[in-house]
Chains A and B, each alone.
Chain A
């Protein structure tokens, strides 16, 4: 009887441990998958969300609009504008 009680207690404890681990690993994995889905392979990023990520932050807010889900509508086009070659722009 005592062994059954101990086994029961261990089962509950291990279940709680697994639940806690899953509650953290699952969202971490999901976030990683999202990151892979918007990766363009360019060091500066080719979309609003990707560049924000490269600069060190996740583009999250509480206003209900998920920029990552709508990533395809926020592609950066100004990368094509050439920078100055020197302070006066002469090569």
Chain B
């Protein structure tokens, strides 16, 4: 009877203990949230504000709501599971002790010890987490974490043994072993590629990498020793331009070999129905039995996925919920799960996501990408590293001693991140090499765009005296994709390297000329003897020469087109306030049923009409700006500009204008100032040339 009473009292107390644990857990989370808010002072965005700017229809997008609901429910579930673990840990003590006050004290000790462990682990693994305040304490050290983990693990195992019968225990143990084996299967399977007759093809992109920050342009640039070494052994094409300084558009141009006017992607987040998603390069390589993969560590502005023909996609999930979840997810227990083997299942928006910089592990991303490659077939991998993208966050703060501080936050952080992306690149190449993927390989190393930092050395000089109106033209801007006159936004890296038996088979050299990212696809077609179908659009790019002795006039006499993207004033500043960005751009976007944000199709023509357009030819750039009534001529060697109305030199600007007018002739309202009216004959000639087979 006494024993029965004791058992009943214990069962009731365990239930109460669980409820008390959940309550205290909730209070702790609220306290942590308040602390986080107080540390930020001014949060760039909040969920409530985001909801104010987003249209009701978009908020009600099923995919968007499901994504948010999944995140919140999973977070709740994990905290409930944790509460259960704490409760189970208390059970052996409750069997020994029958005094309620002592049971409560023991429960509090176990509870607070658990919270201390999770906070310390978060601080140790993710020091840039806002809730990593335990970072300088003894608990947030390997010894402290090990000791506390051991103690609490022992406590939990003791609780399990005392609570469950043997059959349940055996089932649980076998399930745990099976799960561990399943999620670590890739470590057991062979990792080394067997010999293939066809070369692996790797197109490696580094977001925002400016060539003038590499030794390629100035030997004094030493922040990227591994990139410098790689490039020194490659054929580099100088100068190369991106057709548009936006990641998705640049990659589409690269993969199709076409300008944006031809492949249809004129902005990031272009509505998918407006884009020609069939990529002949991917199609042809698949027919040659290549495994085709696309990997990117940030997906807010690049939606290339299986629909573009790739078999294998690596990276965080694509969706509008990304920005919201990444802004609110910084809680210790969530962070601890982000880099676990099952993180892509639990937190698909946070896993492998550079935009969630505090928990992003670049080496884990590399490992995931390389592990996904085929070991028996040749691979075509397009991979893009985004650590250099604003806001330049990472698991550990940059090393400030490596860079000179000159008051420019963006540029300073960018330089600091150069070191990190250089190490990531080197690690990636080493993985490829160690696993045999460079025994027969072609590598293109590119950047998708540059970045404007309003540096003195970047400024264009006005050559002629300007009217009041003309002097207000901003030729230098922050960011990328928003100003064709800011040369550093469009100037990119393009390097080629061929491997055989793990070694480079061509000497490193620089080939001077005028190149574009659109030249890679036709070059691959040529090198691999691939053919376009009759229904495929012809390439806009050229076949890249491999020799400096090339007399191909294409590389010197060709024109290259560069256009701007969506004009957003809120990003042209040293501090990007997400609140202002959302306020300015929300009306241009919609959230589809699948939860993805895209530009509204009905806004598309109007947005296209607001683009800046330009053409490069030899050392000249001619730009047509929708809100500036004169064409602008830039001398890229002198770094100077003037309105065409005051130009009296021998630059072939009329020819360039004809090209510009012909290339963009189908764009809605592109010639607002009638600059093309005097070139109609030349435009017809060029158009006819472009249209002929």
Contacts and interface: CB of A to CB of B under 8 A. Distances in A.
Contacts of B108: 17
Interface in A12-58: 13-14, 16-17, 20-21, 23-24, 27-28, 30-32, 35, 39, 43-45, 48, 51-58
Contacts of A31: 39, 133
B487 to A, nearest CB: 16
B414 to A, nearest CB: 12
A17 B397 contact: no
Interface residues of A, number: 54
Nearest to B129: A58
Contacts of A17: 105, 108-109, 112
A52 B128 CA distance: 10
A9 B104 CA distance: 13
B480 to A, nearest CB: 14
A60 B134 contact: no
B112 A43 contact: no
A86 B564 CA distance: 13
Interface stretch (B157-165, B229-237, B302-310, B402-410): B402-410
Contacts of B44: 54-56
Given A48-B409, A60-B128, A79 B575 contact: yes
B628 A60 contact: no
Contacts of A20: 109, 112-113, 116
A69 to B, nearest CB: 11
A88 B673 CA distance: 14
Contacts of A9: 102
Contact of A90 (B42, B398, B628): B628
A57 B128 contact: yes
Interface stretch (B170-178, B369-377, B438-446, B565-573): B565-573
Given A74-B400, A78-B408, A78-B410, A90 B610 contact: no
Nearest to B566: A87
Interface string A57-91: 11111110101000001111111010111111111
B109 A77 contact: no
A8 to B, nearest CB: 11
Contacts of B569: 83-87
Contact of B99 (A6, A78, A81, A84): A6
A30 B133 contact: yes
A13 B397 contact: no
A90 B627 CA distance: 8
Contacts of B240: none
Contacts of A53: 39-41, 130
B129 A39 contact: no
B482 interface: yes
Contacts of B327: 56
Contacts of A24: 112, 115-116, 119, 134
Contacts of A75: 407
A57 B358 contact: yes
Given A30-B133, A56-B40, A61 B401 contact: no
Interface residues of B, number: 75
Contacts of B409: 48, 51, 76, 78
B628 A88 contact: yes
Interface stretch (B269-277, B471-479, B517-525, B640-648): B471-479
Nearest to B36: A56
A44 B401 contact: no
Nearest to A29: B133
B408 A77 contact: yes
Residue among A28, A53, A89, A91 with the most chain B CB within 10 A? Answer: A89
Given A20-B113, A32-B39, A76 B574 contact: yes
Interface stretch (B135-143, B182-190, B553-561): B135-143
Contact of A74 (B116, B137, B405, B478): B405
A32 B35 contact: yes
B601 interface: no
Contacts of B362: none
Contacts of A84: 474, 477, 482-483, 569, 572
Contacts of B612: 87-88
A32 to B, nearest CB: 6
A74 B626 CA distance: 39
B112 A78 contact: no
Given A17-B109, A87-B482, A51 B575 contact: yes
B574 A78 contact: yes
A83 B135 CA distance: 37
A32 B628 CA distance: 49
Interface string B35-77: 1001111111000000000000000000000000000000000
B574 A81 contact: yes
A67 B327 CA distance: 23
B605 interface: no
A9 to B, nearest CB: 7
B109 A13 contact: yes
Residue among A27, A39, A53 with the most chain B CB within 10 A? Answer: A27
B577 interface: yes
A10 B102 contact: yes
Given A13-B102, A54-B40, A85-B569, A59 B397 contact: yes
A57 B116 contact: no
B166 interface: no
Contact of B38 (A32, A62, A77): A32
A83 B572 CA distance: 6
B132 interface: yes
A5 B478 CA distance: 70
B564 A87 contact: yes
B112 A67 contact: no
Interface string B382-406: 0000000001010011111100011
29 contacts: A17-B108, A23-B137, A24-B115, A27-B134, A31-B133, A32-B39, A39-B41, A44-B575, A48-B409, A52-B393, A55-B391, A55-B393, A56-B327, A56-B358, A58-B129, A58-B132, A60-B396, A63-B399, A67-B397, A75-B407, A77-B407, A84-B572, A86-B567, A86-B569, A87-B567, A87-B569, A87-B610, A88-B625, A90-B473
Given A54-B40, A54-B41, A77-B407, 7 more contacts: A6-B102, A20-B112, A21-B112, A63-B396, A78-B574, A79-B574, A83-B573
Interface of A: 6, 9-10, 13-14, 16-17, 20-21, 23-24, 27-28, 30-32, 35, 39, 43-45, 48, 51-63, 65, 67, 73-79, 81, 83-91
Interface of B: 35, 38-44, 99, 101-102, 105-106, 108-109, 112-113, 115-116, 119, 127-130, 132-137, 139, 327, 330, 357-358, 391, 393, 396-401, 405-410, 412-413, 454, 469, 472-475, 477-478, 482-483, 564, 567, 569, 572-575, 577, 610, 612, 625-628
Q: Nearest 9 CB-CB pairs, A to B?
A: A89-B474, A77-B407, A87-B567, A44-B575, A20-B112, A60-B127, A13-B105, A61-B397, A31-B133
